[in-house]
Amino acid sequence: MFDYIDRMVITSMFPSIEKEWGITHTQSGMLVSAVYWAIVILTFPVSLLVDRWSRTKTIGIMAIMWSFATALCALTGNYVQLFMARALIGIGEAGYAPGGSAVISGLFPLEKRSRMMGLWNASIPLGTAIGHFLGGVIAVHLGWKHAFGIVAIPGLIIAILFLFIKDYKTVDLAFVDKTSHRVRMEKKDMVKEFLSRPSVIYTYFGMAAVVFVTTALITWLSTYFQNVQGMPMDKAGGKASIVMVLALVGAPIGGYITDAWRKTRANARLLFPALSTLITAVLLFIALQMKPGTIQYIVLLAMGVFIIMFIAGAAAVTQDVIHPGLRATSYAIAVLVQNLLGSSMAPMILGRIYDKTNIKTALSILPFMLVIGSVLFYLGSRYYNKDMEKVTKVALEAA
């Protein structure tokens, strides 16, 4: 939750920063992209440390780093300094998602994994909404720089506490070959582990398509309400937050539905994301064609519930079909792909379209990205069962 509060608190403050420093909408978008570019660069090497050393200690150290970087944003005096401080936040957050996914996958059995991943990922919209709300309110009453310092403090406290959480023993990287002998994995075997699992490859890119949309909405929805409906910054941020926080409902519901459906359809962990993402595309398309008002907002609220339902099943797939000793690495690849193609690109691309046209035109590309994501999830579902048969079975032990 605090990962996303610190990451997204800036979005509802864009008008204040643009007015004070005279920057463009594209430059505002780049302040969000900076976080994701840093994650893209570091998430994979950090994930190797997570898998081979400690999940909980890595998470604690990363969280301390991103909390200090968030506080540093309050001390910046120009755009370049703020951009660099935002990149430091990304450096801190690079190892969190891989470590977190590995911890949760290790704590719960296969049949409960989707719902637990759904509950964990529900903290994303909650943190995003809190960040949206606090950024707008604090900027109006105290000035935008104060928001960074205020949200950094509780995250730092939790980060220190996490250093004392127990972990599971690091899993030996070995597999059983065709002659039934246990063989230690070499680098080529690790590469083959991923390349031989089409379901997870389609999942990586499907997640990127949906994350492109969620990041775009997180970044620009409050601006849409400000420009199209003439709302003040704090009210627009609050209205956008409510839309996105409904994913707090959608994520666990998606997890429960996915696990329930999996009892009769093993590949439900990708079939359900395909279905829910397609429904999201339809709802967002309808909302953007409607006249601004109560009915449009109701449709956007429904979209807010469905848009995150994919994550429970998709995140579980990144853990299901891969060797237990490479789970953090698997999620790191998911983070790498979705941040490189989704999160880092969305704020900047929509900011550029916004500069050339208007915010409504910029948002109009998003339903089509969701359709692409739905198709990718469906294609992955066709390989899921065969990929599950290839997975090496390892019992985890508490450290």
Task: Report the SS3 class of residue 323.
Answer: coil
Predicted local confidence at residue 176, as pLDDT: 59
Q: 3-state class of 322 per DSSP?
A: coil
Q: What is the mean pLDDT of the chain?
A: 85
What per-residue confidence (pLDDT) applies to 369? 96
What type of residue sits at position 345?
Answer: M
pLDDT (tens digit, 9 = 90+) per residue, 85-136?
999 998 888 878 878 888 887 788 878 888 888 888 888 878 877 887 788 7
- Which of 210, 287, 240, 277 is closest to 131 using CA atoms? 240
Q: What is the DSSP letter of 164?
A: T
Cα–Cα distances (Å) from 113 to 95, 108, 152, 173, 385, in that order, read 20, 6, 31, 22, 16
Provide the pLDDT for residue 123. Answer: 84
What are the Cα distances from residue 6, in Å, to 22, 148, 178?
Answer: 23, 7, 48
Q: Which of 176, 177, 184, 159 shows the shortest CA–CA distance to 57?
A: 159
CA contacts within 13 A on the Cβ side of 23:
22
pLDDT of residue 222: 83
Do residues 58 and 46 touch, judged by C-beta distance below 8 A?
yes
pLDDT of residue 212: 94
Yes or no: say if 314 and 273 are a contact pair by the CB < 8 Å rule.
yes
pLDDT of residue 178: 58
Domains of the chain: 2-165+186-388 (1.20.1250.20)
Give the residue among 51, 133, 152 at the shortest CA–CA distance from 92.
152
pLDDT of residue 109: 81
Residue 276 is encoded by which pair of tokens? 């829910």
For residue 147, how many other CB atoms are within 10 A of its CB? 26
Q: What is the pLDDT of residue 124?
A: 80
**Residue 261, pLDDT score:** 94
Instruction: Tell whether the torsion through CA atoms of 114, 210, 41 and 4 is positive or negative.
Output: negative
What pLDDT shows up at residue 101? 80
**Spans of the chain below 70 pLDDT:** 52, 168, 170-183, 185-186, 234, 394-399
Q: At what angle do helices 96-107 and 25-52 cross, to 10 degrees?
A: 50
pLDDT for the residue numbered 396 = 62
Quote the pLDDT of residue 303: 95
pLDDT tens digits, one per residue of 213-223 = 998 988 888 88
> Residue 179 has which token pair?
């002659």
